[in-house]
Structure 1
Amino acid sequence: MKITITGVSGFVGTNLSAFLSDQGNEVLPVSMREDGWEKILDRQADALIHLAGKAHDTAHVTSEEEYYKINTELTKILFNEFLESDIRDFFYFSSVKAAADTVTGILDEKQRPDPQTAYGKSKRLAEEYLLSQQLPAGKRLFIIRPCMIHGPGNKGNLNLLYKVVSRSIPWPLAAYENSRSFLTIDNLNFLVWQMMQKEVPSGVYHFADDQPVATNKLVKLIGEATGKPVKLWNIPQKLISFAAQSGDFLALPLTTERLKKLTESYVVSNAKIKKVLGIEHLPVAAEDGLLKTLKSFN
């Protein structure tokens, strides 16, 4: 197959393009930062995977306008090019944040989207536009909502937690029990390739590993990856909450927002995509994928 990928220089793009090439496909990178990218877009390709976008900025530096310009408007332009081409499949990599910033229970595709941040809203607006367009016969539209993606070479939030725990600093939030979904890059690659080869209907699909992982378990996996003992402190939640509230005013490392991010549950269902592909389990178990990523930080 001939597969065009935008955002190929990013973490997902680098890994996915290498994986698809290993399967015997011809990968055609397109940089949307360059003027005239429309002229080099191969309109005879089999698939177009749109990864390029403005990532969620947890430091709150990015302006709201930039999110909408890149994540929404640029996606509209690319999709219009797709509609006028002979390309069969369009993969838009959105985010679970386009559906919900906080999750009660398990997040699936049936839940009504209610994004709260400019990042999530910009992704959701792009989704709405794509879903509102009439697809010509023979074309497929896949809106992919991945949860937190990780893998060797990824320097995201996992690396920050790794630095803390690997220095033998006690984990003070062990009193909180939560579950979070992750997505190893190996499972992402597998799912995309399977979707290209099978008769999958157009629609929205959540990508996540099969099992959610508790943060306390993740801390223990970091200990296993580093070969160092970890210390879990069960400090009463009331004390932790008081310290976080104090941090809001005294510029301490722990604030109420950070406490929420570190202790909240965010579980994502991958049942829909597995059902349409006819598979029971993804190739890499959640904990195995996390351990592989964590060991790469050494």
Structure 2
Amino acid sequence: MKNSRNVLVTGANGFVGTRLLERLRASATLRAFGAVRSISSSDTERLFEVGDIDSRTDWSVALHNQNVVIHAAARVHIMKDTAADSLAAFREVNTAGTLNLARQAAAQGVSRFVFISSIKVNGEQTLQGATFKADDVPEPGDAYAVSKLEAEQGLWQISLETGMEIVVLRPPLVYGPGVKGNFASMVSLVSRGVPLPLGGVKNKRSLLALDNLVDLVTVCVEHPAAANQVFLVCDSEDLSTPELLRRVGVALDKPARLIWVPGGILRLGAFMLGRRAMAQRLMGSLQVDITKARELLGWEPPMSVDEAVLQCCRALRVC
């Protein structure tokens, strides 16, 4: 392939990495490789087995002749974390593991390192009418977010020392084919016609379709203006929790059964059940401003919310 650039995707068999590798391998100008913890007998095409990601991982074979690294692998946010020291566990993978990879990448001549961070670096919620912006002062609220912020800070130092370009992306909740967790549970509840006491919630949240994230990552691989920038990323439309549930209902052709319950009662119930964090995600606002990506990169989310929700529901085999 003439004038092609080699791109290594870490976490290549994960939720984001799988889709990203598919997209990159369809490119006429990029030659994509994947790094995974372990390789199965049926999944060997242009993949490298690297084992666990931490401060000691040897990336030398996977990084050979690579031009760009997209670091999608991470220790993800865990609802019921059983680690004795949660912050230390996140730091070992998300901070030390990332910086170990970046140092080896720079030493092998990688020109650009694209890091998929998290909107949680900015904070947990936005006030009514406010949005998170790329250049806001970070306010991480938990161990996961702290580990991501520390990785970002270390990457800027490595860039300063080596000249390797850094691109940081901070996505909110990503949904799409293969999604698990709360989003999949929500779709299941609507599909089964379970009454949900969320009809009175008046929040606004930015979400991110998987294909929209993959599209921006792909742009950031080659766009000259992406170098040494932080970008926030989300869909083109923010929704309240009831609006999202109704969109899911439309995709399923099963109306969402929403019941109006006063917010104070919902919060009290969540507190008593030890589900305060879940209540915050369902009732609080978190809005993201993607003006910077629009202006610097000319990027617009290619997939609408309705298209993405329908695609997700079909993949979950509930419509």
Q: TM-score, normalised by structure 1?
A: 0.91
| 2:314 counterpart residue number | 295
Letter in 1 for 2:80: A
Aligned partner of residue 231 in structure 2, secondary structure: strand
1:14 aligns with 2:32: no
Does residue 194 (structure 1) correspond to residue 198 (structure 2)? The answer is no
| Secondary structure of residue in 2 paired with 1:267 | coil
Instruction: Return 61-70 or 123-132, whichever deviates more.
Output: 61-70
- Aligned-pair distance for 1:135? 5.2
Tell me, in whole angstroms, the C-alpha distance in 2 between the residues paired with 1:290 and 1:267: 19
In the alignment, does 2:180 pair up with 1:159? no
Structure 2 CA distance for aligned equivalents of residues 13 and 65 of structure 1: 25
- The two structures, once aligned, show a CA RMSD in angstroms of 1.9
Partner of 2:284: 264
Question: Using the alignment, how far apart are the partners of 1:278 and 1:142 within structure 2?
Answer: 16
Per-residue CA deviation, residues 39-95 of structure 1 (Å, 9 max, x unaligned), is 313342221111111000012334322101000101111111122122111011111
* Aligned: 1:73 with 2:96: yes
Q: For 1:210-221, what aligned pairs fall within 5 Å after superposition?
A: 210-221=236-247
Deviation of the 1:145 alpha carbon: 0.9
| Pairwise CA distance, 1:36 | 6.3
User: How has the CA–CA distance of structure 1 residues 135 and 146 changed in structure 2, closer, same or farther, with 3 Å as cutoff?
Assistant: farther
Cα 1:37/1:173, change in 2 over 3 Å:
same
Tell me the secondary structure at the aligned position of residue 59 of structure 2: helix
Moved more, 181-190 or 192-201: 192-201
What whole-Å deviation, never above 9, does each CA across 1:98-135 have from its counterpart, x for those lacking one? 22122221011121111121100011111111112315
> In the alignment, which of 60, 70, 73 is matched to residue 52 of structure 1?
73
Residue type of the alignment partner of 1:163: S
Q: Give the direction of change, closer, same or farther, for the CA distance of 1:36–1:174 in structure 2 (3 Å limit).
A: closer
How many pairs does the alignment contain? 290
Distance in 2 (alpha carbons) for counterparts of 1:260 and 1:147: 14
Which residue matches 2:303?
284
Which residue is 1:251 aligned to? none
* CA-CA distance at 1:172 after TM superposition: 0.6
**Equivalences for residues 1-298 of structure 1 within 5 A:** 1-24=5-28, 25-31=30-36, 32-33=50-51, 37-62=58-83, 63-104=86-127, 105-133=130-158, 134=160, 136-137=162-163, 139-200=164-225, 201-248=227-274, 255-279=275-299, 281-297=300-316, 298=318
Question: In the alignment, residue 180 of structure 2 is paired with which amino acid?
Answer: K
User: Which structure 1 residue ranges, 4+ long, deviate > 4 Å from structure 2?
Assistant: none
Structure 1 portions without partners, runs of 5+? 249-254
Q: Which amino acid in the other structure matches residue 30 of structure 1?
A: A
Checking the alignment, whether the CA contact within 8 Å between 2:198 and 2:258 is kept in structure 1 is: yes
Once the two structures are aligned, what percentage of the paired residues are identical?
25
Aligned to 2:45: none
CA distance in structure 1 between the aligned counterparts of 2:100 and 2:264, rounded to whole angstroms: 50
**What is the rounded CA distance, in whole Å, between the counterparts of 1:256 and 1:41 in structure 2?**
42
The amino acid across from 1:8 in the alignment is: A
More deviation in 5-14 or 222-231?
Answer: 222-231
Q: List per-residue Cα deviations over 1:140-196 (Å, max 9, x = no partner).
A: 210111111111121232101112221111121111111111111111121122222
* Deviation (angstroms), 1:7: 0.8
Cα distance in 2 between the residues matched to 1:95 and 1:238? 29
CA distance in 2, matches of 1:40, 1:242: 54
Q: 1:213 touches 1:287 (CA, 8 Å); kept in 2? A: no
Amino acid at match of 2:134: E
Cα offset for 1:239? 3.0
Which stretch shifts more, 102-111 or 29-38? 29-38
What runs of 5+ residues in structure 2 fail to find an aligned partner? Answer: 37-49
C-alpha separation between the residues in 2 aligned to 1:238 and 1:218? 21
Q: Is the Cα–Cα contact under 8 Å of residues 30 and 37 in structure 1 kept in the other structure?
A: no
**For residues 57 and 255 of structure 2, what CA distance do their matches in structure 1 show?**
54
- Spell out, residue by residue over 1:183-231, the C-alpha distance to the aligned partner (whole angstroms, 9 max, x if none): 1111112112222232123121112112112111111122112222222
Local SS of the residue matching 1:274: helix
- The CA distance in 2 between the partners of 1:126 and 1:196, in whole Å, is 19
TM-score (ref. length: structure 2): 0.85
